Amino acid sequence: MNLGDLGERGAVDLLKRILDRGQPLGIGDDCALLEWGDHYLLATTDALSQRMHVPPSATPYQVGWNLVAINLSDVAAMGGSPIGFLAALALPRTLDVNWLRELARGMDDCAKAFGIAVVGGDTKESDAIVLAGTALGKVRRDRVLLRKGARAGDAVAITGELGRGGWAARSLRAGTDIPMATDMLMRPQPRIEEGKLFAESGGVTSCMDISDGLGTTLAQMAAAGSVGFEVEWAKLPVFRDVRDLPPAEAQTLALYWGGDYELVATVKPEAVEGLAHAFKDRGHPLTVCGRVLPTAPNVLVVDGRRETLQPHGWEHFRSAPLTR
């Protein structure tokens, strides 16, 4: 058996059996938790490789933004406030210095946009470009959001739109709308303020960021909480250009692709209205599109028909690289 047979999530499960000490949370949520007074210190890391993540049309500025943004998205999913960012850069000696300069500008601009700085890191020589980021954040212990915690009857709510990442990847592979698609894919907006609204409401029972597609995200939340999910296709906040595609293709891009970095949360029924008002007051879209079921499997309702919401999405060691 090799990693292609096992897949990314299987590889993580293997590592958890060896490494997980379970203090105070254990491996497997969006961030690690470290006890820090009346707060938790949040720590998360994510990496980019040129072959798998960076389309040829991407600028180094966009790559730098992406490296910071995808890590901050994990902090958002836990309801946290970011406090700093570190980067480890493995680069070829032949790389143009201007590429590094623009990479740093993109990292710096994304960090500044969310009130933090790049506070350190490391550089190493490599035959290929490989970049790793680490974001640090904090959250009150009584406000932290986890993947587990959903209860039957809770509502399912999603920030922003789904399918933007899938539409961008589709466009890049077709060679169409390249500038717009590249920027859409490489410059996601981590939902930091939205995550804090979830946490501060006291009405959100679980949360996760949608980095690898809604199908696999809800599958992970269902497994963590020993529940199931039901979402209605007609109510999902699907990106307009995806909604206009044939239904099967639209569902693939919106549900099973990834790269959207929105948040999906479960909300106590009595808290839905208040949370919706809070989001509206801050100018953030929030869509209630489903409910939590007592047990699996996860369900997608399409035109009144109940179908299985597949546990599929982007998965390293299995998904194809981004190419134009």
Quick one: which H or E segment has residue 155? strand 155-159
pLDDT per residue as tens digits for the range 125-183:
999 999 999 999 999 999 999 999 999 999 999 999 999 999 999 999 999 999 999 99
Instruction: Give the pLDDT confidence of 246-279 residue by residue, as tens digits.
Output: 999 999 999 999 999 999 999 999 999 999 999 9
Q: Which residue, among 142, 178, 161, 156, has the nearest Cα to 255 in the 3D structure?
A: 161
Q: In the prediction, which pLDDT does 18 show?
A: 64
- Rounded Cα gap, residues 48 and 46, in angstroms: 7
Note the pLDDT of residue 6: 55
Report the percent of the chain where pLDDT is more than 90. 85
At 206 the pLDDT is: 98
User: Which DSSP symbol is given to 160?
Assistant: S
Predicted model pTM: 0.92
Q: Which of 3, 8, 317, 312 has its CA nearest to residue 166?
A: 312
Domains contained in the chain, CATH given: 31-142 (3.30.1330.10), 155-308 (3.90.650.10)
The segments of the chain whose pLDDT lies below 70 read 3-28, 313-324
Q: Given this model, what pLDDT does residue 22 score?
A: 57
- Contact predicate 71/44, CB 8 Å: yes
**β-bridge mates for residue 11, sequence order:** none
Residue 24: cis peptide before it, omega within 30 degrees of 0: yes
